[in-house]
Structure 1
């Protein structure tokens, strides 16, 4: 229980400690709100929005919404998995080189892995953001559709290649097990030598007794005490080595499981939403991007894919997140279409009131509203996805490893450090790179939020649980400039993901 680990001795103490931990995580989440809003404002300005508006005529409002949504979610999932893999690789090397004696309590191990994971997520998010911005500017949305399709097709075979490479890397890092075997052999040789020495001493004393030679009292006793101490020391060292070797093997197996599951998640979770984006964009290419029949086909496709995935008896984490991503893509597409239809409805009301507008103006307003809604909805959903996946990592660490204070405080410090770095480098990163990197920071903040929500569920009394939740909500809303609606949506999503077991 978290109570025993955190040292809370009473319900009141649980509430105080829980509130402090929740406040740290909540303030970290809230600190990302204002930078996210500023980045979104830049993305939806007239200049960056112009290439997107031009593509509404090509793929239609439904196609635009689904394509932007699928691309944003794919970028988020890829950046999170990249961070997890990098953090796992650092932890694996750390464990293989036996840089610590108690792995689960080593600050160096988890600090290095967490820093590498957060940095990898932010860096990959920024890189993917720059790549997406470059593709849209140079090859329009059609190029983005092709890039997304090719990336989705290549992910399943690449994930098998990565697993083979990971096994090879694990074999290269198996020097630790060789060291354990060498130490075991050395202990066995020392034990054998001691047994031989004791046997010789016993034989000498038996011969001396047979010859009638007197044996002194103090010297034999001193010798036996020394031999016993050496034997006890070897037994203690042997037991410590066995425990350390078992701990090393367990943590390495856990790291391997994390990597394999996240690689599977990256390879397959994006397929459903990419299929939806390809179908709707394909209809848009042929001039049916806003037709009602496309909506029916899209709804049927989403329902069929969700049914096939969720009816599986072995429901995997990637299936669940894949369905959620597909539904989010569907919602973004519908919101994009609805935004354009609102413009038409408003124009009809104005015409009835005697204020008619030209068809060109109405078409331009429809494209603008659809593009604006697609970017707003896709960015918000991507932020929720990044936060949720980060919360999954934080919740898993708290339940599987422990060290709640270290995880929450460490994730908060890393997130704030990365946030400062992203804001300083925003002129260099550009619009796309800055947005992608900022989403990576949200993922790091999600680790702290997920750890805090996991702690809330581990307390032995209601005051501890309520105190943690209160600290999380108050910290997030207060630092987040009272964005109650946004925070109110993010915290439940983080809680659901933090309580989900991805393994």
Structure 2
């Protein structure tokens, strides 16, 4: 076959495989669109919007936007981190239980399935629990209760981070000592084996010399042949023993490397959970505090909020060691600020619309205009919080999928897509039991699983040897999302773009 035909065949194969993998990842994203939009519609048109609307009168539109934004982002981040940490803990447990060769080999097969299921279930259950808590607090105590919940949760996360850091350091020290003991034990075993082999060799040589002297000279050539065969046998046994010892040492090093990596993943994501929500919580507390004391509708509150966001972002981004949680904390803080601006803008649109209605001759009272403003602001706050939390969950999932080993990307891509469909099915089945908040939190888990699939697809796209594979994989992602989901090109394109960006950001 000519070289040009071979190149063409290779390009066609890359394009076909890339489009197929991209379609699988895009279908996972598209499957989440209708359930998520349905959950948002139930909140906007249901009884849960009433305490949100009452919250506008308490903390003002800026305070409501920052509170709902911080709550939505904190819920999404916590659900994603719960999945990663549980997956790391399960992998560490399986690695500890299976210290032999079979256990490490199983990490490429059955253990990957167990770890993926643990991550999906933990993300879904954590999101459902947090959604139920948010719904209960909002119904019973109003939106202001979310501020106290955010503060308490921030303190609890910091305490958990301290405990996990101490535990990880202890596990790392124990792992180093255990590895050193194993290496020392293996070295002693090797020396003992060499000594035994040397004694056997000397004994055999002495016996062969005695037999050689006793034999007749006419059998001298045959005797020399027997000696050479015995020497070759001993050499093969020695090489086999050396090979087994080398493989055992490599196995121990591989186990140690996997354990260190999983411990690092656990430590980094718990650090992210503990500190990434602090900028959003501070922003929400300051803005809601002004609203509680009656200054929520004043213009200077917006100036203070903007100065606070910019100053915290400047301090975090100017840090000597820019960590993953700092970057995500700044992104979350600006997203919260954007939700607050959209909430205020929705109220202003209601005022402008009322002025146009008055010009047509219709009579609108001040109370009707205020109620309309509060309703529009509440709807916009919920919708913007949904949109930002979706982007956050897809991005965090993509950062997990992008950090995996290249040899398992296709398996993770398909497995995450299957997990996404399974989570959506289980959520719809138990929707009556979970309620609106629980269903919304569970769907965040599905978005996280879809984000993992998209992140893996993005890494596959950029790893092709030609632009044909990259373009076909991206086209497959867009086609799958649009075909299975809704034909919202802007929303789908933004989610795919976020998946590409976060798949290239290493959280470690």
- TM-score relative to the length of structure 2: 0.92
| Greater mean alpha carbon deviation, residues 227-236 or residues 14-23 | 227-236
Match of 1:363 in 2: 370
Matched, 1:500 2:502: no
Alignment counterpart, residue 191 of structure 1, candidates 190, 194, 213: 194
Tell me how far 1:179 sits from its aligned partner.
6.5
Match of 1:160 in 2: 162
Alignment counterpart, residue 296 of structure 2, candidates 289, 299, 311: 289
Match of 1:34 in 2: 34
Match of 2:117 in 1: 115
Match of 1:340 in 2: 347
Matched, 1:393 2:400: yes
CA contact (8 A) 1:103 1:247 kept: no
Match of 1:233 in 2: 240
Matched, 1:71 2:71: yes
CA contact (8 A) 1:191 1:234 kept: no
CA contact (8 A) 2:95 2:103 kept: no
Provide, for residues 419-440 of structure 1, a one-character-per-residue CA deviation record: whole Å limited to 9, x for no partner: 2111111111111111001011
| Greater mean alpha carbon deviation, residues 119-128 or residues 88-97 | 88-97
Equivalenced residue count is 494
Q: 2:105 and 2:162 mapped to 1: Cα distance? A: 29
Provide, for residues 88-110 of structure 1, a one-character-per-residue CA deviation record: whole Å limited to 9, x for no partner: 01111222223636559611232
CA contact (8 A) 1:383 1:442 kept: yes
Q: 1:111 and 1:318 mapped to 2: Cα distance? A: 28
1:187–1:401 CA distance, 2 compared to 1 (3 A): farther
Q: 1:414 and 1:355 mapped to 2: Cα distance? A: 54
CA contact (8 A) 1:77 1:386 kept: yes
CA contact (8 A) 1:133 1:432 kept: yes
Q: 1:84 and 1:17 mapped to 2: Cα distance? A: 28
Tell me how far 1:359 sits from its aligned partner.
1.5
Match of 1:4 in 2: none
Q: 1:104 and 1:299 mapped to 2: Cα distance? A: 52
Q: 2:174 and 2:264 mapped to 1: Cα distance? A: 18
Q: 1:9 and 1:237 mapped to 2: Cα distance? A: 43
Tell me how far 1:199 sits from its aligned partner.
2.0
1:435–1:136 CA distance, 2 compared to 1 (3 A): same
CA contact (8 A) 1:73 1:385 kept: yes
CA contact (8 A) 2:137 2:145 kept: yes
Gaps of 5+ in 1: 1-7
Matched, 1:477 2:482: yes
CA contact (8 A) 1:98 1:176 kept: no
Tell me how far 1:305 sits from its aligned partner.
0.8
Q: Within 5 Å, which residues of 2 pair with 1:401-480?
A: 401-480=406-485
Tell me how far 1:157 sits from its aligned partner.
3.2
Match of 1:98 in 2: 99
CA contact (8 A) 1:477 1:484 kept: yes
- TM-score relative to the length of structure 1: 0.92
Tell me how far 1:486 sits from its aligned partner.
1.6
Q: 1:502 and 1:10 mapped to 2: Cα distance? A: 34
Match of 1:246 in 2: 253
| Greater mean alpha carbon deviation, residues 12-21 or residues 152-161 | 152-161
1:180–1:213 CA distance, 2 compared to 1 (3 A): farther
